[in-house]
A and B are shown apart, each in its own frame.
Chain A
Amino acid sequence: DAKTTQPTSMDCAEGRAANLPCNHSTISGNEYVYWYRQIHSQGPQYIIHGLKNNETNEMASLIITEDRKSSTLILPHATLRDTAVYYCIVRDPETQGGSEKLVFGKGTKLTVNP
């Protein structure tokens, strides 16, 4: 499996940008980087994904380095409701049949403070 490394926890002030880093130095050429988050014990929520170009949607921006060995998820104006565990996931290269299962790590616990 391609592995990812994320900080265990981060804090951010409400209204400020939250920048969550992820290292994926063993990522291979056709693998995407996905970001999900899990608020308390709810089901994981898809945020964004990308291959090599930077991506932006209504929730966040994803910046991927040119060598693709790391990425940063940016929440531009964090709110208290963004407090969650954020997972950076690289598509499992050993997937058979194209199911693209997700392999979750421990993620980053982001706490947004008032």
Chain B
Amino acid sequence: EPEVTQTPSHQVTQMGQEVILRCVPISNHLYFYWYRQILGQKVEFLVSFYNNEISEKSEIFDDQFSVERPDGSNFTLKIRSTKLEDSAMYFCASRRTLGYGYTFGSGTRLTVV
């Protein structure tokens, strides 16, 4: 069964550093998403991406965050200057088209120290 692949599975970074979280969505999917989950809290929407542009973003997704689909297969989330409160599990997801279920990746645990 096709999978959404995320790397790395765990990343530790110092506060103020830039991090890039990587995702390879399922190949024939058209809609891409990032969600995050702070330990013990709900899964929160960050951003959706379609047709090479952001289609929606949440209040969490401020100027420190950016997404890119550089080569037609990878989908990345960049945090420019990490803060302690950015520590969370970050999940990438994709879906073929509207009305279909999402496929989530297994997540990247980001720890900011």
Contacts and interface: CB of A to CB of B under 8 A. Distances in A.
Given A41-B89, A104-B44, A99 B102 contact: no
Contacts of A96: 55-56
Binding site secondary structure of chain A: loop
A43 B42 contact: no
Nearest to A38: B43
Interface residues of B, number: 28
A102 B102 contact: yes
Given A34-B101, A43-B106, A43-B107, A99 B43 contact: no
Given A43-B91, A101-B45, A101-B48, A95 B56 contact: yes
Contacts of B91: 43-44
Interface residues of A, number: 26
B67 to A, nearest CB: 13
A68 interface: no
Interface of A: 32, 34, 36, 38, 41-49, 87, 95-106
In the A-B complex, the 5 residue pairs with the smallest Cβ-Cβ separation, listed nearest first, are A46-B101, A43-B104, A99-B48, A97-B55, A104-B43
